[in-house]
Amino acid sequence: MTNIHVFKTSPVTGESNGMDITCTEDQYESYLRGDGLIQDLLPEATVDQREFLISGCTPTCWESMFPPQNAAEQADAEGEMEETFAHPADCEEAIA
């Protein structure tokens, strides 16, 4: 998998930021055309990379707009939470 370097203007600071997005050129062009949902078109891209493409917000911008409200959110922001959650699509047997 390759990376595409993308520049976007932050809606928070007005500054131009760049980020490497994990995708192929074909995937990126498909996203730009609006061929589908970003999570389907760029499945290897991280949540932060997809948010950057959609809004221009970097993780730092996001944290400045929505600072942690409690110790659990702070630990999550610092990457210290050990608990992981499965995607709902992976839990079909629990729903049935």
Domain map (residue ranges) of the chain: 3-95
- Residue 66 pLDDT: 83
* pLDDT tens profile 10-48: 999 999 999 999 999 999 999 999 999 999 999 999 999
User: CA–CA separation, 1 vs 62, rounded Å?
Assistant: 27
pLDDT-based confidence at residue 55 (cuts at 50, 70, 90)? very high
pLDDT value at 94 more than 80 = no
Which of 17-21, 57-61, 66-70, 88-92 reaches the highest mean pLDDT? 17-21
